[in-house]
Chain A
Amino acid sequence: MITTSTLIAVPAVASIIILLVPFARRAAGYLALLVSLAVLGGVIGFIYRFEPIAGYQFADNVAWITPLGIRWHVAMNGVSLAMVAITALIIACVIGFAMWAGRDRSHVSFALILMTEAFLILVFTARDLFAFYVGFEGMLIPLLVLLAIWGGAGRRFATLQVIAYTALGTLLMLLGILYLGLTAPGGPNFDMALAIGRGNDWVFFAFAIAMAIKSPLFPLHGWVMPAYRESSPEIAAVLSGVASKAGGFAFLAILVPLFPAQAAHYAWIFITLGAIGFLWASFIAFRQPDSRGVVAYSSIAQMSLVVLGIFLLSDRGATGATFQMVNHALVSAALFLIAGWLETQAGSGSFKSLGGLARSRPVLATVTMIVGMAALAVPGSSVFASEFLILLGAFEHQWWLGVIVSIGIVLAAMYMLRWVSAILHEREGALVGTFNPPDLRKGALLAILPLVLVLIGLSIAPAQFTDRINDSTRSLIVAATQESGK
């Protein structure tokens, strides 16, 4: 039987093998794709076996570093499983896209993508603070190397920014983890269940800052733009699609349940920052001159909305935020891959040189339009469902908060429409004439299509998803909700 640990071990071991054996690039790509598909298959098995209850399932709990009270404890609830599922799907698509893009890269790049997957799944499943930290900081290593070696011209500065922000955040969190683990009743113990409610304010903020940086939450988003712009498009898809979810997930599944009192007491800070970030990033997205800029800022905006939804500390807010994380992962990964396609095929992502691509390219037009419509939350889409849940939660919380969120949602429609029309419609751009890119075909299409199909599936039956995770999300926020009711 496949256990949770298997999902981590398979990509980890595969990445080491691909790293050590000097495969040819294509062979390494196929092997990595195979492994990522196997992981995806395993995850589908878990979804099939999953029971929609509140508690954690599929637990593995064995001794690891005994003298420090550290155990290898991984398990999944509905939220974790949702995150693991989108990770597996997006990583598989990203590997496919990387093979299609076919740049001059060694087998190492594929190994690093798989290593990222292993660390990410560890973050989403860890039930021990030490293991969580290993995943949370460890995933930086492969992403950093991918950015530093294969990034664009400005990669030095971008890498430096990523390091400075994220390392500082995670290391402060390490101090918090040490405090919780070492002061556990009955000797050092890093199990999360034992840490509930024992933290004080500084520990709470040490955790919160690390997660806010990763999400990213305004005003700690400074590293995001350089990283999204300078990394290759598929890595940007990983960063914005899943790596950012590590932050959002940690807010919901670790920060709020572990620190219910502080989460309730300081919720207003996160709601305020989320609201500011949502509006501010949406405005800026509207003024971006290129496709990646729009996608990157929309990503910041959407994650701000997620954090806002979580800290409403209500059922609707939390379920909406989880659903929104899944939707946004799919949308932003697809958007970044499309942006990457534009850059490789049309030579640029700048709106000035693009335009008119819909003409005689029906597949591209259809895919782009579907993803674009989903991103602007057209009624009937899954993004609409999740944003609507958060919106409802916001209105329940404070009427003016609901108004702010509505404005943000309208802004999202504006910048996404601008994005779609600047690429597909308007006058034919200069570079489009020069390069005359073909339609979206086989390789790239196969990499993007699964994301679109899942989006469509979720749009058709959103309740299938929300019903299954409802109990999990409620159990995560229930303590904090009670605290805030006091």
Chain B
Amino acid sequence: MIKAPSVDWLALAPIMTLIIGSFVLLLLAAFIRGRDRGLGMLIGMLTFAVSAGFAISAWNTPALTTLADAVQIDQLTQGVTVLIAGCGILTLLVGFGWNRMREQGAEFVALLLLAGAGMDLIAASNSFVTVFVGLELFSISLYVLCAFDVKSKASLESGFKYLVLGTVGSIVLVYGSAFLYGATGSFDFEAINTALTKAGSGDALVILGTVLVLVGLSFKVGVMPFHMWVPDVYEGAPTNVTGFMSAATKIAAFVALARVLLDALPAMRDTWAPALIVLAVITMLGGTIAALVQTNIKRMLAYASIGAAGFGLIPIIVGGDSGTRALLFYLAAYAPMAIGAFAVVALHERDCKGVATLESIRGWGFGRPVAAASMIIFLLGFAGFPLTVGFIGKFVVLGSAVQHDYVWLAVVAVISSVISLGFLLRIILAMFDRSAKSSAMMAGTQGVASVNLAIVLCLLIVLIGGVLPGLGIDWAADAARSLAVGR
């Protein structure tokens, strides 16, 4: 007879809330199809808020593992849960009033909640099985969300591309964890770490497994050269979904990467650290340079987000307390900027009823000064200008690099952020092009107030976080400690 593992339901409450909320919405969808009127969104936001509430209330309880040690609930998990919930709420605000949201809002929200649950789960993973389950849970939800705009070819293409390439990434990850299982006899992070520390890191099977796991997760994070899906998927997906992906997926995938590399495979540091350095350099420079030549705004932001992913690899390479703290703060800082920037794009798309390009935004800033100015601030944040939270993020990341003698890597990061100012400038010049002032179109659209609210919220987070980041840094330090002390 199989012994069922004990389950600490209270510890799992944040994740369970999202899953239950999602099922309730799916059920509800059958009754209110086409007559949603924002009910789906309301329930979705409430669910995210409750999930975050559970996580915050459990902040001070000691770390524990449950589900036969497959899941670890510590401050890192709680922190990620709160962040994902925040991303979800902002995404719902951006999506409100969008055509498809009016038609099938409940289904949309249900999928979003499910994706959030998957992200929380992967961030809590303590075993390769959990990594895979969490990964598939949020990936499959996102495949559907990307293709949600069924009348748009671009959206369907985006969903399909993401499905195919995302699956390749998942398969490689599974393959790698199978090798590691073969070498160590366990999926469990702690057991793998113990076995590897004892046996040494020379085994070909282990090295192959490590590399494959790294490649698989790199697909999800979207670092070069595994980034091919990112621009196409980001461009085609509904813009609110793009914002969610660039913020929340990044948080989940990076935390999973940190858990796997720092919890399960610290013994293999000599294998993965050099590989990550190469990936980081290629990604930072390649991403920002590619962003320079784009004319489609979403594609441009997609490449910018690739560049940011390269930047996020630096603290993992550096490791240690300051490295993981920097990683978590950077991810948290990046999220409101990304969601905000895509929210502005979403607003623009509703205004011009088409695709946002450098041509279509010409002079748009004079019609929507607040949104356009917010866009400038988000972009300044990407580039790491002072008084935005992006600057503090960059400050802690570069700080960790300088502190641990990775100065040259920090110099590469600096060069890439100088390059990134180029596309910032292109967008500013286009938005506030005086010669195109009169041609700015302004169509009356529904639900704009909610998008504006999302933009303003993101703006407030970016600015307040930029001036008074102390609390956030403390949080990141606590959460990082649970990662480093986990073993």
Contact = CB atoms under 8 A, between A and B. Distances in A.
Do A and B actually bind?
Answer: yes
A134 B386 contact: yes
Interface string A142-156: 000100110000001
Of A108, A134, A174, most B-chain CB atoms within 10 Å = A174
A175 B428 contact: no
B311 to A, nearest CB: 13
Contact of A163 (B396, B399, B425): B425
A182 B425 contact: no
Interface stretch (A60-68, A211-219, A423-431): A60-68
Contact of B469 (A65, A164, A181): A65
Interface stretch (B195-203, B257-265, B403-411): B403-411
* Residue of B392, B402, B469 contacting most chain A CB atoms (<10 Å): B402
Contacts of B474: 67
A47 interface: no
Given A67-B470, A67-B477, A172-B414, A160 B386 contact: no
A159 interface: yes
Contact of B387 (A138, A159, A164): A138
Interface in B165-224: none
B399 A167 contact: no
A134 B474 CA distance: 21
B376 interface: yes
A67 B428 contact: no
Contacts of B385: 137-138, 140-141
A68 B414 contact: no
Contact of A65 (B376, B411, B421, B473): B473
A168 interface: yes
A171 B398 CA distance: 10
Interface string B388-432: 000010011011001100010011001101100110010011001
Interface string B467-478: 011100110010
B243 to A, nearest CB: 24
B320 to A, nearest CB: 12
B386 A133 contact: yes
Contacts of B402: 175, 178-179, 182
Contacts of B468: 64-65
A134 B395 CA distance: 11
A419 to B, nearest CB: 31
B469 A160 contact: no
A138 B428 contact: no
B387 A175 contact: no
Interface residues on A, range: 20 to 34
Contacts of B373: 19
Contacts of A179: 402, 407
A148 B398 contact: no
B380 A160 contact: no
Contacts of A141: 380, 385
A130 B469 CA distance: 13
Given A67-B477, A178-B399, A134 B387 contact: yes
A175 B410 contact: yes
A202 B369 CA distance: 43
A163 B426 CA distance: 12
A421 interface: no
B470 A145 contact: no
A122 B432 CA distance: 28
A475 interface: no
B428 A145 contact: yes
A67 B399 CA distance: 13
B414 to A, nearest CB: 4
A134 B432 CA distance: 26
A67 B473 contact: yes
Contact of B418 (A130, A164, A202): A164
A277 B326 CA distance: 42
Nearest to A140: B385
A183 interface: yes
Nearest to B410: A175
B395 A178 contact: yes
Contacts of B422: 160, 163
Contacts of A159: 425, 429
B470 A183 contact: no
B438 to A, nearest CB: 14
A202 B384 CA distance: 22
A19 B459 CA distance: 15
A390 B431 CA distance: 47
B33 interface: no
B48 to A, nearest CB: 28
Given A67-B474, A175-B407, A168 B428 contact: no
B473 A138 contact: no
Given A178-B399, A182-B402, A148 B425 contact: yes
Contacts of B353: none
B487 interface: no
Given A134-B386, A141-B385, A178-B399, A163 B410 contact: no
A171 B477 CA distance: 25
Interface in A154-203: 156, 159-160, 163-164, 167-168, 171-172, 174-175, 178-179, 181-183, 202
Contact of B428 (A133, A134, A148, A171): A148
Contact of A174 (B376, B380, B414, B473): B414
Contact of B415 (A108, A145, A168, A178): A168
B425 A172 contact: no
A174 B398 contact: yes
Given A67-B474, A138-B385, A141-B385, A163 B398 contact: no
Contacts of B410: 175, 178
A171 B414 contact: yes
Contacts of B35: none
Interface in A45-97: 64-68
A239 B338 CA distance: 32
B434 interface: yes
A340 to B, nearest CB: 19
B444 to A, nearest CB: 21
A290 to B, nearest CB: 24
Contacts of A145: 376, 428
Contacts of A202: 407
A67 B373 CA distance: 31
Given A149-B432, A159-B425, A171-B417, A182 B386 contact: no
B413 to A, nearest CB: 9
B386 A137 contact: yes
Contacts of A178: 395, 398-399, 402-403, 410
A159 B428 CA distance: 11
Nearest to A150: B434
A19 to B, nearest CB: 8
Contacts of B396: 68
A141 B428 CA distance: 12
Nearest to B365: A149
Contacts of A175: 398, 402, 407, 410-411, 414
B418 A168 contact: yes
8 contacts: A65-B392, A67-B474, A138-B386, A156-B429, A175-B411, A178-B395, A179-B402, A182-B403
Given A19-B373, A149-B434, A171-B418, 4 more contacts: A66-B470, A148-B429, A168-B415, A174-B395
Interface of B: 369, 373, 376, 380, 383-387, 392, 395-396, 398-399, 402-403, 407, 410-411, 414-415, 417-418, 421-422, 425, 428-429, 432, 434, 468-470, 473-474, 477
The 9 A-B residue pairs with the shortest CB-CB distance in the complex, in nearest-first order: A134-B386, A171-B414, A67-B473, A138-B386, A178-B402, A178-B399, A149-B432, A163-B421, A182-B403
